[in-house]
Chains A and B, each alone.
Chain A
Amino acid sequence: MPSRTELSSLAADPGARRSSNPEYWPRFKAVFLEAFERPVSEQSAFVAQACQGDADMRDDVLSLLASAEAAKEFCETPAAKVLGIVDQDQPRLAPGMRLGVYEISGFLAAGGMGQVYRARHTVLDRQVAIKIVNGQHSDEIAKRRLIREAQHASSLSHPHICTIYEVGEANGMPFIVMKFVDGRSLKDIVRADLPALEQSLRYGIQVADALHHAHEQGVVHRDLKSSNIVIDAQGRPIVLDFGLAKRLHRPTEDLRDDSTVTGFDALAGTLSHMAPEVLRGDRADARSDVWSLGVLLFELTSGELPFSGRTQFETTSAILNQPPRWTSVDIPLSLRLVVERCLAKNPNTRYQRASEVRDALDAIARRHAWLLIPELLVFGKRRSVVVIGGSVLLAVALLIAGLGLRERFGRLPIGSVSTLAFMPLENATGDPRLDYYADGLTDGLIEQIGATIKVRIISRTSAKRAERSTRSPADLARLLGADAIVEGRLRRVSDRMAVDVRLIQPNRGQVLWSDTYERGATQILALQADVLRGLALAVRLAMQPRAADRLATIRAVSPEAYEEYLKGRYEWNKRTQQSLQIAVNHFVTALELDPTYAPAHAALADCYNLLGTVMVGTGSPRNFRPRAAAEAINALRLDPYSAEAHAALGYVRHYDWQWSEAENEFKRAIELNPSYPLARVWYANFLMSRKRSKEALEQIEMARKLDPFSLIVNSNVGWTLNYVGRSQDAITHLTWTLQLDSTYIQARWRLAYALQSAGRYREAHSQAVQLITLTNRSPPAVALLASISAKLGRKDDARALLRELIVRARQEYVPPASISGVFEGLGEIDNAMPWIAQAFEERSNAIAYMNLDSSAGPLQRDPRFQAMVARAGLK
């Protein structure tokens, strides 16, 4: 390459031509950048060729290339540093230098506030560490600061806190002498090889205890991190460098001094470990240390930092807005929960004391031996499962029992997720009254995801049950048969709601995608839509047909109306007479607030449908079914794509014996939202009542896959199995369902039926007796007990119960089908007849399931019965 001088001598007048020519710079720049990428040996030739005879430009580029070579270090030191106003590097002490009785033997580290040297006490011949403050030592403030720091720290005496020996001064240079801890920093240890979980827990417990001790003395560490902890020769963690510590409260503190501390310390610490409130400039307190402890625990267990980015902006943004970034799968859920609580953005929702963290970790450490066992159970052969006592194990064993009923799903690569487990959104608002809101939002998201994305969704209730008893995303996914897990949390930011969501690939524990969405509280549905769009893109799935239409119709709903809706759905899910009535009130209120809110209309239709059933009904379907139909139609007017409304209408049509209309509605509902389990359940019931057993089993199995731990779905699985003649399987399944929740009436009801079908009348009797208690002696429960008593030959019991029903029927609604059933059980067909006529007349749900064939039994053989069948058009 020609030298600069040669180039200069070649120079013609570069002159004004270039600056006045606006086309010069872009061409010049393009040639330069391209030449710059090339090896030095080729640059000249390239430039000459690229400049196409423009000698001025050629020389200009070559001169700039030469300058680039010379400018390597130029401007690389930021201006502020060049001016000497930041980041002054202080001279280091040389080995051999004396500080009083101490002789410096070497440099150890530069800390937040100063430098640390290794030294020897020349009289005692003791190895010590000496810390010297940065900056101008003649500065009074600095000196006082240092002394105060030492005073604070020397008041601490704890096996896991580094001991301060003395505060000295030599040649006007103040220094702190502390114990020399020989060992490796925890940071180095973690980097080299992650400690075993038990070890990490032990370190965590000891460090938390050290912090607790310091906090008790009014000292906050403010810069706790793995590089500030040394593992000594005995394997004990020693917390170093309470170097930025400041007093929490000491009344003697002089006021001016204190303001200095707050004014100057705002951003002291290490960015990646800084609590959000400290980043925002608030005062650090014990809870900020709890945050740092959370960061430390995260690092200890996963080897990574929970909040980090390529740049400081990214890191800050992650700390302020993102949930911690878990990438490792091998962390027990219980530990994750502790760490996440340490890392709550709001200090008020964090553990308030380090001792609470210590105790929580201790509990995990003690239980850990237990937690290992279910892992073996889950991964091992299912046949060899031995039921072992203990609540954790029992729950896991139950889940495995559930698992045994399903086939295994093939694992699909990222990009073709077929089954998503949507974990319940965590309510991180700190307000337990918003629990139902988080649940409702989860359900809303699940409903919409099902309608939007081609994917099988596992519902919240099932995910929640699994979550309670398992430990890592990989286990969760295995239990739920999911390819990917969506988890998230709801936060309240003044009058706004924010949702942090992430998608996890469970096998590798990789976070595939995460994002935060924030909207005003009135835009909760738009918030759902935001999450969905992001999720759909993230999963890279084809959207369902019309998904875009659906997303477009999502509109604002008043938060009050939405709240009522969520409360209503919560009650509806319990499915008792009482809860259904409460649910109706909530939905009606929601509609008073917002009459055009389609989901509330559809939900009201669901309630009316159930209020007219035999089991939990409070009145005749004659009253309720037309109202259900009207609400379903209202909902469809407002939102023709509502799967819920179509399913509710299908339900109405089914029990109104409009078979083809019913089937169309169910099919439409399933088409609109293949992941809506109730559409499948009701369609299965429909198919079952139409004697299409195989299809019924297929649909109910789909429902179960969608919501494997749902009580209502599993109750219906049992019912379907029983109906198709598999009463033994039904009994097994319903018994398992009741283990999920022994108070769930619908499952017990169906178990009693199944036991009856299997001829196990005594057991059925005992179930019916329990139902009498559970339902506060509801008429259908009384009827059930009466029928079973009749089968057992206890006809007097049966007649007494029957009399009770007939008397009560004058005062309250007693399903006529219940009474006719008891008469039928007693063989009194004539007495049954008027009641069965009423059941036909009100179009009781029971009729749809009755065997109408004249060969089926004495009731069916009766010509009066066959006449009713014919009149109803059911022949």
Chain B
Amino acid sequence: MTSTSDVTGLLIRWSNGDHEALTRLLPMVYDECRRIAARQLRRERDEHTLNPTGLVHEWYLRLVDQRRANWKNRAQFFGIAAQLMRRILVDHARSRYAQKRDGRKLLLSLDAALDAPIDSSAEGPVVEILAIEEALERLGEQDPEQQRIVELRFFAGLTVEETAEVLGRSPRTVKREWQMAKAWLHRELQPEAPLSSQSRPKKRAM
């Protein structure tokens, strides 16, 4: 198990401008987050005490040494956690999409436990998530801040207030940016070629 003091130490180093620390931090935390997520999601089979925020929250409590943590580390951590959550969920969606397409179970990037049995109703959400992910990549090229807001709100499940706290922005600003980002993503997802503030690829790379 990754030690909380390692993670905290790297967070502190990163906040002091050590970029190498982030490179070391991401894989370390990613593995651990996946493990917790897998266990959490398994647990979700028989009870529902957790929501997505709870998941990110538990990562934080488990991975960061609370005695040394402060709000700044926390904001950093949630920023990272949201990215990780996005990766984990997108990986999960990809694997489910692949299973569906191939008609057999594939163990891809997540623990087996995370793989839910596929039913017909699962296809819609899986495709939607992958489409949003793709559009979000493009949004990020224009507006990295809006990309982060979508990560925090949609993938990590944070509220507007929580997102504002992570980003150090006012809730009002976050709310406006979030609405714009949603509008943009929504437009991107429309089947007909829309008017766009940016060109979009005609085919989806899955």
Contact = CB atoms under 8 A, between A and B. Distances in A.
A180 interface: no
B148 interface: no
Interface in A63-88: 63-65, 67-68, 70-71, 74-75, 78-88
B20 interface: no
A80 B185 contact: no
Contacts of B197: 14, 18, 24-25, 28, 60, 64
B199 A15 contact: yes
Contacts of A8: 192, 194-195
Contacts of A268: 47, 49
A257 to B, nearest CB: 14
Interface residues of A, number: 71
B46 A135 contact: yes
Interface stretch (A305-313, A370-378, A755-763): A305-313
A80 B52 contact: yes
Contact of A83 (B39, B125, B161): B125
Contacts of A145: 46
A852 interface: no
Contacts of A333: none
A67 B199 contact: no
B78 A313 contact: yes
Given A85-B92, A279-B61, A142 B46 contact: yes
B48 A80 contact: no
A75 B156 CA distance: 12
Nearest to A59: B195
A36 B180 contact: yes
A317 B128 contact: no
Interface stretch (A92-100, A259-267, A592-600, A611-619): A259-267
A16 interface: yes
Interface in A203-237: none
A495 to B, nearest CB: 11
A320 interface: yes
B89 A267 contact: no
Interface string B39-60: 1110111111111111101100
A11, A29, A493: which has the most chain B beta carbons within 10 Å? A29
A112 interface: yes
Interface string B11-42: 00000000000000000000000000001110
Nearest to A315: B57
B179 A87 contact: no
Contacts of A64: 180, 183-184, 187, 197
B132 interface: yes
A314 interface: yes
Interface in B156-206: 156-157, 159, 161-162, 165, 176, 179-180, 182-187, 190, 192, 194-199
Contacts of B66: 280, 320
B75 to A, nearest CB: 9
Contacts of B67: 493-494, 496
A79 B157 contact: yes
Nearest to A268: B49
B51 A33 contact: no
Interface string A236-266: 0000000000000000000000000001101
B26 to A, nearest CB: 20
Contacts of B122: 83-84
Contacts of B58: 266-267, 281
Contacts of B44: 85-88, 135
Interface in B67-115: 67, 71, 74, 78, 85-86, 89, 92-93, 96, 114
Interface of B is mostly: helix
Contacts of A63: 187, 194-196
Given A25-B197, A310-B161, A74 B186 contact: yes
Given A78-B154, A79-B89, A82-B129, A134 B183 contact: no
A401 to B, nearest CB: 47
A785 interface: no
B40 to A, nearest CB: 8
Nearest to B90: A79
A145 B47 CA distance: 11
A24 B196 CA distance: 12
A264 B49 CA distance: 11
Given A136-B46, A266-B58, A80 B157 contact: yes
Interface in A1-60: 7-8, 11, 14-16, 18-19, 24-25, 28-29, 32-33, 36-37, 59-60
Contacts of A81: 51-52, 157
Given A267-B54, A280-B66, A25 B143 contact: yes
- Choose among B44, B159, B165, B186 the residue with the greatest number of A CB atoms under 10 Å from its CB: B186
A147 to B, nearest CB: 13
A313 B165 contact: yes
B89 A80 contact: yes
A67 B61 CA distance: 38
Contacts of B57: 267, 312-313, 316
Contact of B183 (A68, A90, A263, A266): A68
A313 B176 contact: no
A142 B50 CA distance: 16
Contact of A312 (B141, B143, B162, B186): B162
B143 A29 contact: yes
B185 A312 contact: no
Contacts of A603: none
A86 B154 CA distance: 14
A485 B40 CA distance: 45
A79 B49 contact: no
A88 B71 contact: no
- Most chain B CB within 10 A, of A68, A136, A493, is at A68
A337 interface: no
Nearest to A269: B49
B49 A113 contact: yes
Nearest to A12: B195
B113 to A, nearest CB: 11
A287 B128 CA distance: 46
Given A75-B153, A145-B46, A86 B55 contact: yes
A311 B159 contact: yes
B51 A87 contact: yes
Q: Closest 10 interchain pairs by CB?
A: A78-B157, A68-B183, A71-B186, A142-B46, A135-B46, A67-B187, A63-B195, A311-B162, A67-B183, A78-B52
10 contacts: A24-B197, A68-B183, A80-B55, A83-B122, A85-B114, A87-B50, A88-B44, A134-B46, A267-B58, A311-B161
Interface of A: 7-8, 11, 14-16, 18-19, 24-25, 28-29, 32-33, 36-37, 59-60, 63-65, 67-68, 70-71, 74-75, 78-90, 112-114, 133-136, 139, 141-142, 145, 263-264, 266-269, 279-281, 310-314, 316-317, 320, 493-494, 496
Interface of B: 39-41, 43-55, 57-58, 61-62, 66-67, 71, 74, 78, 85-86, 89, 92-93, 96, 114, 116, 122, 125-126, 128-129, 132, 141-143, 150, 153-157, 159, 161-162, 165, 176, 179-180, 182-187, 190, 192, 194-199
Given A80-B55, A83-B96, 19 more contacts: A28-B197, A37-B176, A60-B197, A64-B184, A67-B183, A71-B186, A78-B52, A78-B155, A79-B129, A80-B155, A83-B92, A83-B116, A85-B44, A268-B49, A312-B53, A312-B57, A313-B165, A316-B57, A494-B67
